[in-house]
Structure 1
Amino acid sequence: MSKLVDYLNHLDQNADASAAHAKDAHAAMTHFGLSHEEQAAIKSGNKSHVAKVAGIAEADVPSIQSTDEPR
């Protein structure tokens, strides 16, 4: 499994990680070790882009917490 998918699963399973991502997504993704390309895919919120970067089928992409728009 790709590090990108590992990160998305981590956010789904860990409330503290999800809160850290919501507070400062760039810092959280960098700390986890995601590349700039992986971070851009998550920020896009586009499942097909995430799937392409992760090398998996779009149907296998966990939910995405996009960070492009302010909350």
Structure 2
Amino acid sequence: MHNEIKRENAELKRLLEIERLKNEKIQAQYDELEVSYTNLKTATAISLNGSDVKETKLRLSKLVREVDKCIALLNE
């Protein structure tokens, strides 16, 4: 019985590892899609004909703040 439980435990650990790898892959895809979506929103906002100038300014300000944070991190 002990050996059977050990085999079952090993199988469960293997299945858990497979699911963990699937989760990591899906998370990476999600992150890529989120970046693409953000870039698309920014490009759309910039290409507007002045109808949503306030929103465009807010998005550009957010991008500038993100770039400033990245520069600050690189300078540390």
Which structure has the bigger radius of gyration?
Answer: 2
Q: Taking structure 2 as the reference length, what is the TM-score of the superposition?
A: 0.28
Q: Taking structure 1 as the reference length, what is the TM-score of the superposition?
A: 0.29
- Ranked by relative contact order (alpha carbons within 8 Å, sequence separation 6 or more), the top structure is 1
